[in-house]
Amino acid sequence: MEFLGGKFLQVFIALAVFAALIGLIMLIVDRAPKSVKDKLTIVGFLAPAAILMLVGLVYPAVQTSFLAFTNASGQPNGVDNFVWMFTQPEALATLRNTVIWTVLVPLLSTVFGLAYAVFIDKARGENALKALVFMPVGISMVGAGIIWKLVYDYRGPGIEQTGVVNAVRVALGMDPKQFLLDAPENTIFLIIVMVWIQTGFAMVILSAAIKGVPVELVEASRLDGANPWQQFRNVTVPGIRGALVVVLTTITIATLKVFDIVRTMTAGNYDTSVIANEMYTQAFRAGEPGRGAALALVLFLLVLPIVVYNARVLRQQREIR
């Protein structure tokens, strides 16, 4: 209780200081000479966001970067944490799983979302069919993990199976399978959950992009004798290239940071851990905050190029328009 009281007091003091700063800025702006009032107004509007960014983003990022080069006692240890990351079997398995996730989830989600968007475009009941696929997007990662953990649930041979998949296997005369325990395929079964969630997102974005492809181009290609596949490959895909880039990069970033599904379904055991989960495990379970910070730094470096590339593509599209 004393710990919670101390935390609440710290939060209250921080909010009071922040409010005082805002009040001081408003007072200065109000009493400033007219020649500098506009500039001070701009600064006054930007200052709260800048302060929150410095306190909530920049400072933790700098602190994490320094922490990545320390040991469990907080003493500098050079690059030992990064050596551990790229030499120890458990850390290498984490990196391998992250690569598998990053390759399969964006690819499968985009392919399935695009295929669904194409096949139900202008079909009867299109809105209802889209809603069914989009529904998993509204479920939290933890909720999805719990749902699919029940789907994969395993009971021993001779015991009635409560998991949907194993119940079907038993009904077909096969033995029940421990989907979440048997490596390395258990990683694939976790990936299915993420694909199930992200396919709806990809479908909605790509469906909207397909509807934006000029009908004149499609009709012209049909008059030129192009079959449906050629129309799709030569007209539709180039027309939705920007949307494809956005979908792929957005899902890739979400996949690199995946934590909830792995933590909920396996807690990273049975060779299923990924960088975000291992970061949490090392920092808060194994008592190695330096290793957790090193993993966080690597995760940031992996995400950064994707964000930069996405921003560059969007800027190029804006210039074309």
pLDDT of residue 36: 67
Long-range contacts: 135-139, Cβ < 8 Å, 24+?
Answer: 135/200, 136/196, 136/197, 136/199, 136/200, 137/197, 137/198, 137/200, 137/201, 137/204, 139/197
Say how many residues make up the chain. 321
Q: Which of 230-239, 286-295, 300-309, 311-320 is the least confident region?
A: 311-320
- How would residue 37 be classed by pLDDT, with cut points 50, 70 and 90? low
What's the rounded mean pLDDT across residues 160-175?
A: 90
pLDDT digits (tens, 9 = 90+) for 227-242: 888 888 888 888 888 8
Name the more confident of 247 and 321.
247
For residue 206, what pLDDT is reported? 93
CA distance 49 to 27: 18
DSSP 185-222: HHHHHHHHHHHHHHHHHHHHHHHHHHHTS-HHHHHHHH
* For residues 277-283, average pLDDT: 92
Q: What is the mean pLDDT of residues 291-298?
A: 92
Looking at the chain, the whole-number percentage of residues with pLDDT higher than 70 is 92
pLDDT recorded at residue 101: 96
Token pair in block for residue 91: 């850390």
Say whether pLDDT at 10 is over 90.
no
- Please check whether the domain covering 81-320 is classified as CATH 1.20.1560.10: no
Question: Domain spans of the chain?
Answer: 2-67, 81-320
Rounded to a whole number, what is the distance in angstroms from the first to the last CA of the chain? 58
At 124 the pLDDT is 78
Containing 141, the helix (H) or strand (E) segment is helix 141-151
Judge contact between 297 and 64, C-beta under 8 A.
yes
**pLDDT score, position 54:** 86
Residue 242's pLDDT is what?
A: 85
CB atoms within 10 A of CB 123: 9
**Torsion-angle region of residue 74: left (phi > 0), alpha (psi -120 to 50) or beta?**
left
The structure's pTM equals 0.83
